[in-house]
Amino acid sequence: MTGDRRRRAPPPEPPASGLLDWSGSSHWDSRPRPCRYCGKPARLRDSKGSPAHKVCAEEVLARRAAEAAEAYENERLH
């Protein structure tokens, strides 16, 4: 069976700027509103239209992922 193997495509590269890709115009608003996480003015909007800084949203996602992994590990051990 040499030569008949199909190679899988490599996984897509994550956006160079971090976890979230907010480059689309739908994530921008000319009117600053308080970030839902830190309260400072933000012109960016998340996928639901809520004002948020990209960095703040990525920090929350990382924290939630860590908490979920910890909860899974604790459940697995007990």
Task: Render pLDDT for 4-61 as a digit per residue (tens, 0 to 9).
Answer: 566 666 655 554 545 788 888 999 999 999 999 999 999 999 989 999 999 999 999 8
Is 0.75 topped by the overall pTM?
no
Q: Where are the domains of the chain?
A: 25-77
According to the model, what pLDDT value does residue 78 have?
67
Q: Is-contact 53 44, C-beta < 8 A? A: yes
Phi, psi of 34 (to 5 degrees): -60, 130
Q: Identify which of 14, 44, 48 has the alpha carbon closest to the alpha carbon of residue 28.
A: 44
Counting runs of H as helices and runs of E as strands, what totals does the chain give? 1, 2
Band of pLDDT at residue 72, cut at 50, 70 and 90: confident
Report how far residue 40's alpha carbon sits from residue 62's, in angstroms, rounded to the nearest whole number. 20
